[in-house]
A and B are shown apart, each in its own frame.
Chain A
Amino acid sequence: MAENTKPLLKTEDVSEVFGGLKAVDDFDFYINRGELIGLIGPNGAGKTTIFNLITGVYVPTTGEILLDGESIVGLKPYEITQRGIARTFQNIRLFSELSVLDNVKIAYHCHVKYGLLETVFRMGRYFGEEDAITEQSLKLLKIFKLDEHAHEVAKNLPYGAQRRLEIARALAAQPKLLLLDEPAAGMNPQETHELMEMIRWIRSQFDLTILLIEHDMSLVMGICERIYVLEYGIIIAEGTPAEIQNNPEVIRAYLGTEAVN
């Protein structure tokens, strides 16, 4: 029980300095198991930098990042993925020349147990695991309505489908915590709505905790339970969607001071 009350992810005074510029300043936040948290803020507020810090792309200048109470600072991105954090990218980063199915299959990589000899001689666990990976990948694609495109080349998918594929791929890594970087960017309202439903659904289905960055307020306000607002690398507000909507600091950050007065 005590285990479950501890936050899944917690940052303590995390700062990141790029050549004298403080991109993230004393960032303190936590996510409890099963929560769906939003991270919003104007362009350049440091949202993606925070994703990069959590996933090990950047190493924080100071501060501590704890996953399940253990520090993940200084670990390589792949090690952090192996410990249960997967992400999508703001500027889609698919394996664009590969088939949709292969994109997902790659993400099972860190759960594969067969070794090099089993690979080369095609024995032992090789066939069993490969079959399981293909089967699970196809199942995931079905959830994201991509099963019909399984053998198409990823770069030929429409934009919205590419975003869905990125999420499917991240899920294939079987994370505890999923980070979504602007999942609705470039989607039309209809697609955004469907995405919203899907995020809700995968959270319960895969027993996930989700942190998302988003500019689409209807999405953020619609599904997030708590929201952090970031400006110039500093958290300026935190609370439920209702609290955030009425927070004068947030309105000022988004609309300028005149709007408040």
Chain B
Amino acid sequence: MNSVRKRDLVMLVFGLAVFGTIQGMISGGMIGSFWQLNIILICINVIMAVSLNLINGYTGQFSIGHAGFMAVGAYVGVVATTNFHLPLIAALILGAIGAGILGFMIGLPTLRLRGDYLAIATLGLGEIIRIVIMNIEYVGGAAGFKGIAHLTNFAWAYFAMLVTLFFVKNFVNSSHGRACIAIRENEIAAEAMGVNTTKYKVMAFTIGAAFAGVAGGLFAHQFYLISPNSFTFLASFNYLIMVVLGGMGSITGSIAGAFVVTFISAALASFPEFRMIIYALALILLMFYRPQGLFGYMEITNFAPVKKLLDKLSGTKGE
């Protein structure tokens, strides 16, 4: 068996072990409902951060409207379960398809724009999605969609996260992923090396949007009510911050970023008046002292001790 495959297997086993531990603690009543909710939120935020990282960090296309795609996934999902009585898995898949299609339709024309212009366009599109939803009476308009079944639990959130992580990890470690990274590094050179830059930008954007749709579906079925105001550009900023905090272009970084941001928000929940001030200052200081984020372009598997351990477990010698 190929060593890379063995490493995948080791990581899968590790992922399952983490799941078993946390699920065991939840079943054993060791984790209260507040932290249970936050663990689920971490999983959802990891999906959001990793999918946004594919667009922003790996492909270098600065998008700040990710909450819009989450909203599409959430609303498609709740309509599927509430109005059509479909199971959660179908709702998540439909939400992903809906958000993915919209991502494709939006990405095709807008990804011609560069840098700040793309950023502001995606921000605008995210807001338009929200305002359009607000005006659809079928899904509750501005008041929001009520009476959603509480279908999301830790297992769903965790395995959706695991699928996202494996998808994105495998994607970026392939010729397709390298094409995206090449676009980030130097678009003109990428094109000269035979990379169809438009195709890969749109591909990254569509995949990112689809996973944001999954996250939206999970998010919606966690609460009994969703409203368009959960998906403003401030929410998009929050996901962007997770990505930047962790490191643009690092999956491990996005996991860490989602974890830290969710954890800090939860920990500061009892000091609402200071929460956002501390958050803002932390953000500015981070940019001063570690603008590349916690991990930069590195993955945890690149760090020597972790690499050694992985090599040992998968029975190969490191380079």
Say whether A76 contacts B196, CB under 8 Å: yes
Nearest Cβ on chain B to A132's Cβ, whole angstroms:
11
Residues from chain A with Cβ under 8 Å of B171 in the complex: 116, 119-120
In this assembly, does B131 line the interface, its C-beta being within 8 Å of a C-beta of chain A? no
Q: Given A120-B171, A126-B174, A107–B193 Cβ distance below 8 Å?
A: yes
B319 closest partner in A (C-beta)? A151
In this assembly, does B275 line the interface, its C-beta being within 8 Å of a C-beta of chain A? no
Say whether A130 contacts B190, CB under 8 Å: no
B residues 4-31 in Cβ contact with A at 8 Å: 4-5, 8
- The complex places the Cα of A96 from the Cα of B184 at a distance, in Å, of 10
B176 closest partner in A (C-beta)? A119
- The complex places the Cα of A198 from the Cα of B167 at a distance, in Å, of 42
Say whether B186 contacts A96, CB under 8 Å: yes
Say whether A120 contacts B194, CB under 8 Å: no
Say whether B178 contacts A86, CB under 8 Å: no
Residues from chain B with Cβ under 8 Å of A93 in the complex: 186, 188-189, 192
The residue from A77, A114, A126, A129 contacting B192, defined by CB atoms under 8 A apart: A77
Interface residues on A, range: 35 or more
Q: Given A94-B186, A173-B194, A114–B175 Cβ distance below 8 Å?
A: yes
Say whether A106 contacts B178, CB under 8 Å: yes
In this assembly, does B195 line the interface, its C-beta being within 8 Å of a C-beta of chain A? yes
Q: Given A95-B181, A96-B186, A106-B178, A173–B193 Cβ distance below 8 Å?
A: yes
Say whether B186 contacts A116, CB under 8 Å: no
In this assembly, does B125 line the interface, its C-beta being within 8 Å of a C-beta of chain A? no
The residue from B167, B185, B188, B195 contacting A97, defined by CB atoms under 8 A apart: B185
In this assembly, does A81 line the interface, its C-beta being within 8 Å of a C-beta of chain B? yes
The residue from B170, B195, B197 contacting A106, defined by CB atoms under 8 A apart: B195
B168 closest partner in A (C-beta)? A120
Say whether B194 contacts A82, CB under 8 Å: yes
- The complex places the Cα of A82 from the Cα of B194 at a distance, in Å, of 6
- The complex places the Cα of A106 from the Cα of B200 at a distance, in Å, of 13
Q: Given A97-B297, A119-B170, A119-B171, A106–B182 Cβ distance below 8 Å?
A: yes
Chain B residues close to A by CB (< 8 Å): 2, 4-5, 8, 166-167, 170-171, 174-179, 181-182, 185-186, 188-197, 203, 297, 319
A selection of 11 A-B contacts at a CB cut-off of 8 Å is: A81-B193, A89-B192, A94-B185, A106-B193, A109-B175, A109-B179, A109-B195, A112-B175, A120-B166, A122-B170, A170-B193
